[in-house]
Amino acid sequence: MNHFVINCVSLIMEIERTDNEIIFRIPSNVDTLGLQRIIDYLHYKEATTKSDANQNAVDEIAEESKTSWWQENKSKFIK
Protein backbone atom coordinates (compact mmCIF):
# COMPACT_ATOMS: atom_id res chain seq x y z
CA MET A 1 0.00 0.00 0.00
CA ASN A 2 1.33 3.43 -0.98
CA HIS A 3 0.35 6.64 0.75
CA PHE A 4 1.16 10.11 -0.59
CA VAL A 5 0.43 13.47 0.99
CA ILE A 6 0.55 16.61 -1.13
CA ASN A 7 0.62 19.83 0.90
CA CYS A 8 0.29 23.07 -1.07
CA VAL A 9 -0.20 26.23 1.04
CA SER A 10 -3.66 25.55 2.54
CA LEU A 11 -4.57 22.47 0.47
CA ILE A 12 -3.80 19.03 1.79
CA MET A 13 -4.58 16.21 -0.60
CA GLU A 14 -3.96 12.57 0.25
CA ILE A 15 -3.67 9.77 -2.27
CA GLU A 16 -3.73 6.22 -0.97
CA ARG A 17 -3.29 3.12 -3.10
CA THR A 18 -4.53 -0.19 -1.74
CA ASP A 19 -4.55 -3.60 -3.42
CA ASN A 20 -7.80 -2.90 -5.27
CA GLU A 21 -8.41 0.87 -5.29
CA ILE A 22 -6.93 4.34 -5.22
CA ILE A 23 -8.40 6.72 -2.64
CA PHE A 24 -8.19 10.52 -3.01
CA ARG A 25 -8.89 12.70 0.01
CA ILE A 26 -9.28 16.41 -0.61
CA PRO A 27 -10.68 19.27 1.47
CA SER A 28 -14.37 20.02 1.05
CA ASN A 29 -13.63 23.58 -0.11
CA VAL A 30 -12.11 22.43 -3.42
CA ASP A 31 -13.68 23.91 -6.57
CA THR A 32 -16.53 21.51 -7.43
CA LEU A 33 -16.49 22.30 -11.16
CA GLY A 34 -12.85 21.33 -11.45
CA LEU A 35 -13.44 18.28 -9.29
CA GLN A 36 -16.38 17.24 -11.49
CA ARG A 37 -14.16 17.47 -14.57
CA ILE A 38 -11.64 15.16 -12.93
CA ILE A 39 -14.41 12.72 -11.97
CA ASP A 40 -15.79 12.81 -15.53
CA TYR A 41 -12.32 12.08 -16.90
CA LEU A 42 -11.87 9.14 -14.51
CA HIS A 43 -15.29 7.76 -15.55
CA TYR A 44 -14.24 8.09 -19.19
CA LYS A 45 -10.94 6.28 -18.52
CA GLU A 46 -12.72 3.48 -16.69
CA ALA A 47 -15.38 3.13 -19.41
CA THR A 48 -12.86 3.02 -22.25
CA THR A 49 -10.24 0.81 -20.62
CA LYS A 50 -11.30 -2.29 -22.56
CA SER A 51 -12.38 -0.51 -25.73
CA ASP A 52 -10.86 -1.50 -29.07
CA ALA A 53 -12.00 1.75 -30.70
CA ASN A 54 -9.32 3.95 -32.21
CA GLN A 55 -9.35 7.74 -32.24
CA ASN A 56 -10.57 7.95 -35.87
CA ALA A 57 -13.63 5.81 -35.06
CA VAL A 58 -14.39 7.94 -32.01
CA ASP A 59 -14.02 11.14 -34.05
CA GLU A 60 -16.41 9.82 -36.71
CA ILE A 61 -19.05 8.91 -34.13
CA ALA A 62 -18.69 12.34 -32.48
CA GLU A 63 -19.09 14.11 -35.84
CA GLU A 64 -22.17 12.03 -36.71
CA SER A 65 -23.66 12.80 -33.31
CA LYS A 66 -23.06 16.54 -33.67
CA THR A 67 -24.50 16.54 -37.20
CA SER A 68 -27.64 14.65 -36.22
CA TRP A 69 -28.12 16.80 -33.10
CA TRP A 70 -27.86 19.97 -35.17
CA GLN A 71 -30.35 18.67 -37.75
CA GLU A 72 -32.82 17.89 -34.97
CA ASN A 73 -32.34 21.15 -33.05
CA LYS A 74 -31.38 23.90 -35.51
CA SER A 75 -34.97 25.12 -35.76
CA LYS A 76 -34.75 26.06 -32.07
CA PHE A 77 -31.83 28.40 -32.80
CA ILE A 78 -32.51 29.64 -36.34
CA LYS A 79 -35.92 31.20 -36.97
The count of domains in the chain is 1
Q: Which domain holds residue 10?
A: 2-77
CA 71 to CA 9: how far, in whole Å?
50
pLDDT of 5 higher than 60: no
Per-residue confidence (pLDDT) for residue 41, from 0 to 100: 92
Average pLDDT over residues 10-29: 85
Per-residue confidence (pLDDT) for residue 47, from 0 to 100: 85
pLDDT of 9 higher than 60: no
Eight-class DSSP state of 57: H
Count Cβ atoms below 10 Å from residue 43 Cβ, excluding itself: 10
Which H or E element spans position 14? strand 11-17
Measured in whole angstroms, the distance separating CA 29 from the mean position of its chain's CA atoms is 20
